Chain A
């Protein structure tokens, strides 16, 4: 079961550098090799998911830790990215802040209990403070009928 107390948890702001090599590696891993990515003109639409690396080294920054979702039962249900202009480019430095927005529960038609958790991350340009992008992540933990 996810920890209901996670709602409202806000992570410490974390710094994320947008790196040319990382963009290329990500593009190659997703069959998306294009000049714009190899040259670092912009990042792929789902690239901000690599903020894992930056949150890992900045303790207290990952609000998701408060969710305590199981790696076995947990799944990514839905993901959204919004860009307030072209996506970030190589050399940009972003400040990310994530927060847990809500936890909702549903019973599936098969009787499974589904716990949905929504986390929103804002990415701002470190120099200007402008909002560059937002991520809305929905995770789900499934408990088969009768198990919990």
Chain B
């Protein structure tokens, strides 16, 4: 876990890559989260809606991104997290999470970071912004 002095604007931890994504990843996340939208696991439903295959649950991908950040800055320290979906992911995709420090607030002893999930083509799938407190 990073300490205050480790946190330098524009820098972050090593990237984390996961995948190739499987339908099982989506089903497992849906079971854990309670989001049962069939577009993420029911092939005829997904193709009927115009997708080539069931699409990754956005909150699954974002959940991995959030976990990357709490591993970096501490699960107890998170105070805000915001995520925006840019491009859907599908089975077979390989995704990479990266994060950098945006700003440090010396007085509040908090840090704002930016997270990005990129797919195998280099396209941004999810973007995130989080605020953590950094205990002494």
Interface residues of A (CB under 8 A from B): 22, 25-32, 34, 36-37, 41-42, 44-46, 49-53, 56, 71-73, 75-87
Looking at the complex, which one of A22, A31, A32, A79 makes contact with B83 (CB distance below 8 Å)? A79
Interface residues on B, range: 35 or more
CB distance from A77 to the nearest CB of B (A): 6
Docked-complex contact B34 and A80, CB < 8 angstroms: no
Give Cα A51–Cα B35 distance, bound, in whole angstroms. 10
Give Cα A45–Cα B79 distance, bound, in whole angstroms. 9
Docked-complex contact B59 and A75, CB < 8 angstroms: no
Total A-B contacts with CB atoms under 8 angstroms apart: 122
Interface class of chain A by DSSP: mixed
Docked-complex contact B67 and A82, CB < 8 angstroms: no
Interface residues of B (CB under 8 A from A): 16, 18, 25, 28-29, 31-39, 45, 48-50, 58-60, 62-64, 66-71, 74-85, 130
Docked-complex contact A30 and B66, CB < 8 angstroms: yes
Docked-complex contact A83 and B79, CB < 8 angstroms: yes
Docked-complex contact B76 and A42, CB < 8 angstroms: yes
Docked-complex contact B84 and A56, CB < 8 angstroms: no
Among B31, B45, B74, B81, the one with the most A-chain Cβ atoms within 10 Å of its Cβ is B81
Q: Looking across the interface, which residue of chain A has its beta carbon closest to that of B80?
A: A82
Docked-complex contact B78 and A30, CB < 8 angstroms: no
